[in-house]
Chain A
Amino acid sequence: MTALRQATEVVDPVPGASSPHLPQQPDLIQLLTPEGERIEHPDYALDISDEQLRGLYRDLALVRRWDVEATALQRQGELGIWASLLGQEAAQIGAGRALAADDMAFPTYREHGVAWARGVDPLHVMSLFRGVDNGGWNPVERGFNLYTIVIGSQCLHATGYAMGVQRDGAESAVLAFLGDGATSQGEVNEAMIFAASFSAPVVFFCQNNQYAISVPIERQARVPLFQRAAGFGFPGVRVDGNDVLAVLAVTRAALAAAREGQGPTFIEAFTYRMGAHTTSDDPTRYRLASELEEWNLRDPIGRLKAYLSRSGIADHVFFDGVDAEGDELAARIRSGTLEMADPPPASMFDHVYAEQTPPLAAQRAEFVEYHASFEGGEH
């Protein structure tokens, strides 16, 4: 009993923090305070133009507008489900904009911000949540894999892809997305072992949004997540996930190290899922409103807006323009979603195999014939 208690004390999750999912955390890399004050970090200088800063704001605002529209469309019955990124915009845009054109990203199912940064048409994401397809973009063309729903599985794909990059002698890197819950998955741990053993050019980008649906981070990890990396033999860093500048700087550095042959990095982007896990979830059952209030003060968009305004990098004309662009985007997403045609029924038989099998071809023919039997009939 004593030994057990001692062990628990030794692995106190975050010394000094009253609760591990509240935002005051040690070791948090920050370049922009929640109040919008630009600060420097000794290890992470950020070389960025005013135009790029305005671009980041535009990204953040537009993906949030998309997210709001998607949630509304789900509520109106036009999407089967929606996984909101509310609160995680900076983590995703910072990471997505750190990628070079020929880098490859492996998302979970919530990386709409990264999809945006990779030039994926939002409608190609909406079609997944509407049930038209499993994602309509070309993963290789976009440098952005299809969404992977089984938690953590994509970390191995990313690592294997990075092993391929190594064999090709290419100078590109791979970014694997995962959440805090995924760090408990065996496959994620296997991915980090393979990545370390082969020194693969892959960066693990973990958005610690504090909850795996309802289960808080304390149940997944008794140490800060970024410290896990040490056990695998590569660097781990914890960045303020609501600070788009810090995320951009940290992810750029990690990807550059990977491209230079220095192997993997684990990035813990400390953030918070402001919305529900998905539109099917009810977060009031497992977390307090006070927690939300505290995180609301650290909103990723508000702090960048404050900085841009105060420093004169952007004015109200710019912000109004982004708002108007957001409304146009939302209108396009809405009309495009409503206009999506259902896929032809027999299309489910297509692409099961690259080389169709005779039994499946026969089953397809039977299905088509069965369907045809209703045409002009009572059905």
Chain B
Amino acid sequence: MAETLTIGKALNLGLRRAMEDDAKVVLMGEDIGKLGGVFRITDGLQKDFGEDRVVDTPLAEAGILGTAVGLAMRGYRPVCEIQFDGFVFPAYNQIVTQVAKIHARSQGTLTMPIVIRIPFGGGIGAVEHHSESPEAYFAHTPGLKVVAVSNPVDAYWGIQQAIAHPDPIVFLEPKRRYWEKAEVDTDATPEPLFRSRVVRGGDDVTVLAYGPMVKTALQAAEAAADEGRSLEVIDLRTVSPLDLEPVYESVRRTGRCVVVHEAAVTLGVGAEIAARVTETCFHSLEAPVLRVGGYDTPYPPSKLEEEYLPDLDRVLDAVDRSMGY
């Protein structure tokens, strides 16, 4: 059945389906019960699945992740909602020292099928700690996988695939795009979770993005087309593990590559991609891999966030610089 869904509603339906499919799925988080979460992603789920499966936890993020570890050891599949990106750090110890390592520590005896849902990124005019892009912290941690969805189709299928997956997954949701709509075929066969995807073909420059920046990259490609430039846009979809084969294939054709993310560029995901693309496609490159991202500052007060966040013009500026080599 095909229906038009927002990213938020697609996540809600995906969670509902995952809970129907597996009685061991337990949602945990702050205000996710009666309220349905501050973004209403869990709207109606507690009413239908009960308080034992949709758990309004005490206000303690380490507590949420730490108890999720114990539930996972007992055979449950916890799905933890972190209310905002900037509030994941109290749970950082549990995620990095425990969730990520327990499978290896136990020599494969224990698995940690935990999904950590985090609305991430800026652009909503929020106060401090509500607009962060923490993906590199998690992608740098062996034992974790990091997914960043950009659209309702991936949101619907991705959340179900992440919940069914045996490894812990940080599942990043592009909060400023929660209300973007697309048609979702709920009977379709989904694409695999850890695969990047070419979302717009092109010949001149390969532009890489994930999460909220995919839309920005597509807008840039549209504008570039008006100027006679053809951008190939790839939605990475997964930050860890990176699926770069389609990227290498593309860069070997275009010879140019621009990576776009909201997170600060220094030591970010773009730096890793630049290194790998350079190693693998060295003889095909016509220009160095360029990065467009946040500046190396704390995320600024909201009146300045449009300056901080990559937009269409900054992507096109990088494309110009790449073409200038």
Residues on A facing B (Cβ under 8 Å): 133-136, 138-140, 145-146, 148, 150, 153, 155-168, 186-187, 190-191, 193-194, 197, 350-355, 357-360
A355 touches B166 (CB 8 A): yes
Q: How far is the CA of A133 from the CA of B97 in the complex (A)?
A: 16
Q: Name the one of B67, B105, B145 contacting A357, with C-beta atoms under 8 angstroms.
A: B145
User: Smallest Cβ distance from B65 to chain A, in angstroms?
Assistant: 8
Interface 1/0 per residue, B102-119 and A, CB below 8 Å: 111111111100000000
DSSP majority for the A interface?
helix
Contact A156-B74, Cβ < 8 Å, known A353-B145, A355-B166, A360-B241: no
* Contact (Cβ within 8 A) B242 A157: no
* 17 pairs, A vs B, C-beta closer than 8 Å: A134-B105, A134-B107, A135-B106, A139-B109, A139-B110, A146-B102, A156-B94, A163-B74, A165-B74, A187-B62, A190-B66, A191-B63, A191-B67, A197-B58, A350-B107, A352-B143, A354-B167
**Given known contacts A190-B60, A353-B145, A163 and B110 CB-to-CB distance under 8 angstroms:** no
CB–CB A150/B165 < 8 A: no
Given A139-B109, A194-B63, A167 contacting B76 (CB threshold 8 A): yes
Cross-chain contact B62 with A164 (CB below 8 angstroms): no
Interface assignment of B68: CB less than 8 Å from any CB of chain A: yes
Cα distance A156–B90 in the bound complex, in angstroms: 13
A163-B67, A187-B62 known; A352+B103 contact, CB < 8 A: yes
Instruction: Give the nearest-CB partner of B240 in chain A.
Output: A357
Number of A-B contacts (CB under 8 A): 138
| Contact of A161 with B73 in the complex, beta carbons under 8 Å | yes
A166 to B52 alpha-carbon distance, docked (Å): 9
- Contact B241–A354 (Cβ < 8 Å): no
**Given known A-B contacts A197-B58, A354-B103, A157 and B145 have beta carbons under 8 A apart:** no
Q: Is B287 an interface residue (CB 8 A)?
A: no
B70 at interface (Cβ–Cβ under 8 A)? yes
Contact residues in A for B90 (Cβ distance below 8 Å)? 186
List residues of chain B with CB under 8 Å of any chain A CB. 26, 52, 57-58, 60, 62-63, 65-76, 78, 90, 93-94, 97-98, 102-111, 142-143, 145, 165-167, 194, 240-243
> In the complex the two chains form, is B67's CB within 8 Å of A160's CB?
yes
Complex Cα distance, B90 from A164, in Å, reads 23
Distance, CA A163 to CA B51, complexed state (A): 12
Check if A162 sits within 8 Å of B70, measured CB to CB.
Answer: yes
**Minimal beta-carbon separation of B174 from chain A (angstroms):** 23
Say yes or no: A168-B74 contact (C-beta < 8 A), given A153-B97, A190-B62, A193-B63: yes
Given A134-B107, A187-B63, 9 new contacts (CB under 8 A):
A134-B105, A138-B106, A146-B105, A156-B70, A157-B69, A158-B70, A159-B70, A165-B74, A354-B108
